[in-house]
Structure 1
Amino acid sequence: MSAGIPARPEPYVMREATEKDRLPIEVMLRKRSAWATARNLPASATVPFVLEMIGRTTPDGARLMVLTEDAHLLGCVVVTRRAPVTDGWSGPEMAEPALYLTAACTRHDTPDPRGRLSSLMTLWTRDHAARLGLPQLRCSVRAPQVADLLVASGWKKLREGENAVLTPVSLLWLTAQSQPGLHRFIADADTAAPEDGLHNADHLVP
């Protein structure tokens, strides 16, 4: 998946969200939700849940990660070892070890014809899961169009199901895998130099 991503002198950064990220994250999520709604697609993340996760690590290790470039927000995702009970996973499935991705979102107004941002976050989470000793990534997707794009990029469909509010979902998985050359594209959250907060969110607002 990394073949189409050119190396950059200054890598992207994938790191844990901080309080300084709150405004840019909220703006991105609300604009993405409006964009999806205008196209009859389900919103990719719930704003209150994601904002509540800023700066937090739950007892099961869930935390909100952000992808940035030159201190500008490009995307976010919550990673957790415990399957969200609302996402449609069965009891036996939730008992299996995996890294679950939820509330994933990328900026819709950034030119990204080949899904570069989603690919970068997938590469990082595959590597992160492997370093944690977990065999799989998993996610629950409501929009069939998004599920089809993920399957086309390498994700596998476990099954179709329903989430807690009986909305149809596609339950997807991907094998965790170490990415030895990943540091050429993404500075790891644990080794990246701290950024002086994200730039002002004005550039995200119409």
Structure 2
Amino acid sequence: MHPTRTAGDGHPANSPFTSKSPAAVYEMRPLRTDAERAEAVALVQDRQRWLDQRGLQLTSPTDVSVVFHNRQSRLAGLFGDGKLLACMIPERSPRLRWGEDAYLYLGYVHTLPGQSDDITRLITLWASDLAARLGLPLVRTEILAREALDTGPTAALLRRLTDMGWDIRGSQLGQKGGQVARLELAAEDRPGLSPLIACHVHELLEGTDDRSSR
């Protein structure tokens, strides 16, 4: 994942970020165009309908749509065979009500309905690896919890996430209202991940620390 670069490449020889491997199955990259943002909004709306049908609505689709349409939002998407499978807003150390140390934060994470837990597991592997390459010790995220963390659908989701390596750090009132479960993942360098997923989102994160602006 970290091949040596020469001076002629225009990148530092010790840069932890690489160009896409031709063999990579998936790609995580910024969503830059209006069309890509619209595709992300459609994914979120599809996900919300899927949740509504099961009585599991977790977030406001209207709020998310506004955020994703905002050109100032630093959106990232996971693609497989050219299809958008997940979208999110990765940030470097935004100001939360918990955890003041440096970390990679994944906000507004949504996956395409009908996908297996493999997509969530892939996001987990990618995020822990990216945090390590950025020199950050942790990944953090929050999920809206409509009920106690040890009952119902929320408990089932949290069990799957803990099986993937996430730790539950309790619950609290979220940034946008509503009770959230706090999740934390240790950073881990995964040099063998690049044939599976190519990462192009470091430019959204390098040289920024959002704690000062929130």
Common topology (TM > 0.5): yes
1:38 — aligned with what? 53
Report deviation, 1:49. 1.1
User: Is 1:109 paired with 2:123?
Assistant: no
CA distance in 2 between counterparts of 1:172 and 1:10 reads 28
SS of match in other structure, 1:184: coil
1:159 — aligned with what? 170
CA distance in 1 between counterparts of 2:43 and 2:24 reads 23
Report deviation, 1:43. 3.5
1:3 — aligned with what? none
Flag the 1:164–1:74 CA change in 2: closer, same or farther, 3 A: closer
Q: Single out whichever of 163-172 and 28-37 deviates more from structure 2.
A: 163-172
Report deviation, 1:70. 1.8
SS of match in other structure, 1:102: strand
Partner residue of 2:31 out of 17, 35, 40:
17
One-letter code aligned to 1:14? M
CA distance in 1 between counterparts of 2:23 and 2:92 reads 33
The answer to whether the Cα contact below 8 Å between 2:30 and 2:76 also exists between their aligned partners in 1 is yes
Q: Percent identity at matched positions? A: 27
- Count of residues in correspondence between the two structures: 168
Which deviations, in whole Å up to 9, do the C-alpha atoms of 1:69-92 show, x marking residues without a partner? 12111111111113355xxx23xx
User: Is 1:173 paired with 2:191?
Assistant: no
Aligned-residue RMSD, C-alpha: 2.3
One-letter code aligned to 1:78? I
The answer to whether the Cα contact below 8 Å between 2:38 and 2:69 also exists between their aligned partners in 1 is no
The answer to whether the Cα contact below 8 Å between 1:142 and 1:168 also exists between their aligned partners in 2 is yes
Asked which structure has the greater CA Rg, the reply is 2
The answer to whether the Cα contact below 8 Å between 1:157 and 1:172 also exists between their aligned partners in 2 is yes
One-letter code aligned to 2:109? A
User: Is 1:129 paired with 2:143?
Assistant: no
Which deviations, in whole Å up to 9, do the C-alpha atoms of 1:93-112 show, x marking residues without a partner? 2x2111111100110034x2
Partner residue of 1:119 out of 113, 116, 121:
121
One-letter code aligned to 1:129? A
